[in-house]
Amino acid sequence: MELALSILLGFMIIGAIFAIHAKDLLSAVIAAGIVGYSLVICFLLLKAPDLAIVQIVVETITLIIMVAVVLDSTREELKINIDRQQILNISLALIFILVLIFFFVQAIETLNPFGQHSLRMASAYVGETAAKTGSANLVTGVLFDFRGYDTLGEATILFTAAIGILSILRIKGKK
């Protein structure tokens, strides 16, 4: 299990690097989409069918929006001259990243390894959720009953984004 996931994550990292370096914006967007679809397989491997369904649909819609924007504007990536500024940027980024990885590896050493976790808050949700909420799908039970308040917030975020996009895409801002 851990091996399969590691290989999948390795592919995702390669896909992500390709998406960042692609010369054509359309292929960059599609590569990012493929990374997103690999996420679906990860979710299925990790026993999260709910997330897999949501992610596959949401990724499709995101991809449609991004492809629409790219096709509507330009597909060409900018020419980046490898000048001193750029080299400085890249090397700084790499150093920063190496330092972060070093600290992260140090930090997570003490914690439980893959697949061995205990439950605390969630033990109540798993134990008798079904009996209390009556929902056979425990994730839905958590989402709409124990943490229904979060879900209202989440729906509000989509509402906010829709209203926000309607206001951003107005033709004229000021009278």
Q: Which of residues 52-111 bind other proteins (CB under 8 A)?
A: 52-55, 57-58, 60-62, 64-66, 68-70, 72-74, 77-78, 80, 86, 89-90, 92-94, 96-97, 100-101, 103-111
Q: What span, in angstroms and rounded, lies between the C-alpha atoms of 122 and 145?
A: 13
Give the shortest CB-64-to-other proteins separation in angstroms. 6
166 binds other proteins (CB under 8 A): yes
- Residue 19 sits at the vertex; the CA angle it makes with 85 and 93, to the nearest 5 degrees, is 35
Give the shortest CB-37-to-other proteins separation in angstroms. 10
Per the structure block, which two tokens stand in for 61? 């819609």
Q: Are 134 and 122 in contact (CB under 8 A)?
A: no
**Residue type present at position 54:** V
**What φ, ψ does residue 24 adopt, rounded to 5°?**
-115, 125
Find the binder of other proteins among 9, 23, 27, 84 (CB under 8 A): 9
**How many chain residues are in contact with other proteins, going by CB under 8 A?**
128
